[in-house]
Amino acid sequence: MANNVFPENELRRIEKLKSYELMGLGKDPELDVFAQAACLITDCPAALIAMMEQDTQRIQSCVGMELDTVDRKNTVCQYTIMSKEVLVIEDTFEDPRSSSNPLIREGNIRFYAGVPLLDDDGDALGTICVIDFHPKTLSDKQKDSLEELGKAVTKILLGKKRKVQAGYFSEIFHLTNNIICVLDEARKVKEVNPAFSKVLGLSRSNSLGKSIFTLLGDIERELVSDLGRVEETKYGVQSTSRTKIENGQVVEIEWHFKYDPINHDILAFGRNVTKEREEKLKLENSERRFRSFFENAIGLMSMHDLDGNILSVNEKGREILRYAKEEVKGLNLKKLVPSHHVGLVEEYLKRIASNKEDSGMMVLQTKDGEDISWLYHNMLETDENGRSYVVSTALNMTDRLRLENDLLHTKQILEQTNAVAQVGGWEVNLAENKVYWSDSTKLIHGVDPDFTPDFEHAIGFYEPESQVILRGIF
């Protein structure tokens, strides 16, 4: 036998073996009784139960011979799993599927009958087979009995996996923080998990047999309507209940109900979203307050990404820059500054990305080209999707800078006028006994520009009669 043969569903079949945890198993004494029964049914001296893995047939039970594994290419069972029916080879020396098999020849095996072990989907996991050392036939009754035996073996093998899974589900049922309960068709409770009792403050004994509507006392009665159509839907229905428990708190639960047509039960899965809703409401209120603060701030508030694209500008900022709300989102910082400031914007974007914070002065141009000076303080933030953006707050300093420039210019004119007219000014701080002289005053008195007079020095430059008058004044 030179080559392996594989069924069309081979990949799925191997995945099933892994899923059922039937790979790499050793002997299982619990299966020996089935191998012995196969011998009795067929009047054969030897039988085995085995899983057919990718390259190996692994024996779980063996009666009448000693085997642990067989190379798949040397098995007759590889032909058995090609179909869903009993395979009977009455004379192995005459059948092309087995006549050249070295194990058949060496063991002088002349008869073979095998049944595929099929799961619920009809995929063959392994075989139960019998052999004899002389050619023979089986009656239809023997074949039927052998098939029934194969079904029993499959149930045993899969039942072990299901038992383990049932244990997992039981642990989940008892340990999960989510609510799980089972309802009958009358919407009465058949079973609840501990989370049901914990969340709703209802004991299991007081819940069983009660209407789910009575237990939940749904304030808004949405549950009645939604549960009324659960049998009509394939994928179940979603609903929300709001229940007032003993301490007066209202518990909000999101439900998923699924109808089980086999057992005529309704499976209910609930999630307590009370705190989640409260947090969501707080977040919405916080966002609303921020949006109100953002829009109604007396200065410019804006947001932009790290490429300088404008994401949002508040109402005051739009008003000063003379842009409509729908116009600002298409703008970039580089388009808002004078052309000779574009390089400064690029430096700023690198700086804010690196330092996470930046402040200083900037100049933005209005829609019609007027320069507006701003004192800004910007912070780098991250949104819920991990994207970085900058929040900017800025005050319009244009009028203040213009006023400062005007005052500086006026001061310069006054100083020039005083110097020409030889008019000086001075000031006395009586609390600190300090005297201030203007530059023109120092010039008139012929002192150095860095000279700092005190009160005695100041009045010492006057005639004695004037000193008396000044002392009287101060």
| pLDDT over threshold 80, residue 445 | no
d(CA 427, CA 448): 18
Contact present, 35 and 45 (Cβ < 8 Å): no
Stretch 453-473: mean pLDDT, rounded? 72
pLDDT at 225: 81
d(CA 435, CA 452): 8
pLDDT at 2: 47
Q: pLDDT-based confidence at 159, cuts 50/70/90?
A: confident
Q: Looking at the chain, which residues constitute the CATH 3.30.450.20 domain(s)?
A: 176-276, 298-400, 422-471
What tokens were used for 61?
């039970």
CATH number for the domain running over 176-276: 3.30.450.20
CB hemisphere CA count around 305 (13 angstroms): 10
pLDDT at 226: 84
Q: pLDDT-based confidence at 170, cuts 50/70/90?
A: confident
> Which CATH number does the domain 422-471 belong to among 3.40.50.720, 1.10.1380.10, 3.30.450.20, 3.40.640.10?
3.30.450.20
pLDDT at 103: 92
pLDDT at 69: 94
State percent of the chain over pLDDT 70.
Answer: 88
Model confidence over 299-345: pLDDT tens digits?
788 888 999 998 888 888 888 888 888 888 788 999 889 989 999 99
| pLDDT over threshold 70, residue 418 | no
Amino acid type, 12 = R
Stretch 108-120: mean pLDDT, rounded? 96
CATH number for the domain running over 298-400: 3.30.450.20
CA-to-CA dists, residue 209 to 186, 213, 262, 339, 395, angstroms:
10, 12, 20, 79, 68
Nearest Cα to Cα of residue 125 among 49, 27, 61: 49
| pLDDT over threshold 60, residue 421 | no
Contact present, 373 and 360 (Cβ < 8 Å): no
Name residue, tokens 């009287």: 472
Model confidence over 395-408: pLDDT tens digits?
888 777 677 666 77
| pLDDT over threshold 50, residue 456 | yes
Phi, psi torsion values for 177, nearest 5 degrees: -85, -10
d(CA 243, CA 193): 18
State percent of the chain over pLDDT 90.
Answer: 39
Average pLDDT of the chain? Answer: 85
| pLDDT over threshold 90, residue 98 | yes
DSSP reduced 3-state for 113:
strand
| pLDDT over threshold 80, residue 285 | no
Model confidence over 129-139: pLDDT tens digits?
999 999 999 99
| pLDDT over threshold 90, residue 101 | yes
| pLDDT over threshold 90, residue 251 | no
Stretch 90-109: mean pLDDT, rounded? 94
Question: What is the separation, in whole angstroms, between the first and last Cα of the chain?
Answer: 129
pLDDT at 394: 87
Contact present, 233 and 151 (Cβ < 8 Å): no
Model confidence over 220-249: pLDDT tens digits?
577 788 888 888 888 889 888 888 888 888
| pLDDT over threshold 80, residue 77 | yes
More confident residue, 393 or 62: 62
What tokens were used for 343?
């390089």
The domain defined by 9-165 carries CATH number 3.40.50.1980: no
34 contact partners, CB below 8 Å, separation of at least 6: 49, 61, 128, 149, 152, 153, 156
More confident residue, 73 or 422: 73
Beta bridge partners of 436: 427
